[in-house]
Amino acid sequence: MTDIPRDHPRYQSLVTREMLVKGVRDGITSMQGLIAHGRGEAFDYLLGEKTTAPALGAEKAAVAMLLLARNPVVSVNGNAAALAAPEMVALAKEVNAGVEVNLFHRTEERVGKIAGLLRSNGCEPLGVHPDRLIPGLSHDRAKASSEGIFTADVVLVPLEDGDRCEALVKMGKKVIVVDLNPLSRSARTATVTIVDNIVRALPNMVKLAEEMKSLPRPELEKIAGGFSNETALSAALDAMMETVQSSKQH
Ligand code: PTJ
């Protein structure tokens, strides 16, 4: 790992890159994951690399939905594993959710390594021996487990591919995505889109789950029901446009 100087103004962003590079070296993250992250970074730059108030609102609604769910599942891909494995496991514990390895560029070797990482963080993941296929999807990315994603009513799928997000919504599930690109198909199709970096969103959600798990159901229903994905996406675009506008004025 390159030694990143702590006083570098882009310290956090550079450390995040190093975590992904390590993920690739350890056989956890795909090469494509590096490219996907680069796209995310560009949007994060426009967001000011911070959790905006509307993103925090989406995180709150997502946690409420997970707490209300009958069979919630947190899906882990190669990027999420490299950037937020301990937080994904901690969140799953707080909301009583299953954790499933679910890859777009699936190889059994990578599934095994991600499962090992999740086990070392204290959970027994699903998805190692998937027994069902998500309808409407070709290719290995359709694989899912009957106890997990296949029967889940609420799924958190950070950095999800647009096609699979759409297929999960078509199955009648509530789909929560973390996606820095508010224009992506996943962002537009999901039930709740959190326009925030996964490295900020997941720690926020763990903290929110700790605070919210004792709330009565009607209160959680109010929080989840008051969320509008359209409004949240529009607010994210406004925040990005504001950054562009204020840079033009200087
Ligand atoms: O590990 P695998 O095989 O499952 O593959 C994972 C990737 C992410 C490579 C795969 O799902 C993929 O190709 O995803 P996409 O279609 O490129 O979508 C990823 C989305 O996540 C893009 O819209 C990015 O802007 C966004 N993104 C990238 N990095 C982050 C992010 N969103 C939040 N936090 C990030 N750190």
pLDDT class of 9 with cuts at 50, 70, 90: confident
**Rounded Cα distance, 191 and 124, in Å:** 27
The stretches of 1-157 forming alpha helices (DSSP H) are: 11-25, 31-47, 53-68, 78-95, 108-120
pLDDT class of 139 with cuts at 50, 70, 90: confident
CA 230 to centroid of ligand 1, rounded, Å = 21
pLDDT tens digits, residue range 10-59?
Answer: 888 999 999 999 999 999 999 999 999 999 999 999 999 999 999 999 99
Mean pLDDT of the chain: 96
Q: Which atom of ligand 1 is nearest to the CA of 102?
A: 4
Determine the pLDDT at residue 43.
Answer: 98
Task: Answer whether residue 249 shows pLDDT above 80.
Answer: no
Q: Which atom of ligand 1 is nearest to the CA of 29?
A: 1
Residue 229: burial class (beta carbons within 10 Å; 0-12, 13-18, 19+): middle
Task: Answer whether residue 201 shows pLDDT above 70.
Answer: yes
Determine the pLDDT at residue 87.
Answer: 98
Task: Answer whether residue 71 shows pLDDT above 80.
Answer: yes
Q: Please work out whether the CB of residue 103 comes within 6 Å of at least one atom of ligand 1.
A: yes
List 194's β-bridge partners, or say none. Answer: 178
Q: Percent of the chain, pLDDT > 90?
A: 91
**Contact 85/76 with Cβ under 8 angstroms?**
yes
Q: End-to-end CA distance of the chain, in Å?
A: 36
Q: Please work out whether the CB of residue 47 comes within 6 Å of at least one atom of ligand 1.
A: no
pTM across the whole model: 0.97
Domain boundaries, the chain: 53-240
| Known binding residues for ATP | 17, 39, 179-181, 185-186, 197-198
Measured N-to-C along each axis, helices 53-68 and 78-95 cross at an angle, to the nearest 10 degrees, of 60
CA 160 to centroid of ligand 1, rounded, Å = 6
**Contact 31/194 with Cβ under 8 angstroms?**
no
Task: Answer whether residue 191 shows pLDDT above 90.
Answer: yes
Determine the pLDDT at residue 250.
Answer: 63
Residue from 216, 194, 190, 217 nearest 205 by CA:
194
| Known binding residues | 17, 39, 179-181, 185-186, 197-198
Stretch 217-239: mean pLDDT, rounded? 98
Stretch 141-167: mean pLDDT, rounded? 95
* Best CATH choice for the domain 53-240 from the list 3.40.1190.20, 3.40.50.12640, 3.30.530.50, 4.10.520.10: 3.40.50.12640
**Rounded Cα distance, 244 and 24, in Å:** 33
Write down the ipTM of this complex: 0.98
Lookup: tokens for 69: 């769910």
Determine the pLDDT at residue 8.
Answer: 85
**Rounded Cα distance, 191 and 242, in Å:** 25
Segment (H or E) for 26: none
Stretch 182-200: mean pLDDT, rounded? 98
pLDDT tens digits, residue range 92-121?
Answer: 999 999 999 999 999 999 999 999 999 999
Task: Answer whether residue 2 shows pLDDT above 90.
Answer: no
Q: Please work out whether the CB of residue 77 comes within 6 Å of at least one atom of ligand 1.
A: yes
**Rounded Cα distance, 95 and 200, in Å:** 18
Q: Please work out whether the CB of residue 79 comes within 6 Å of at least one atom of ligand 1.
A: yes
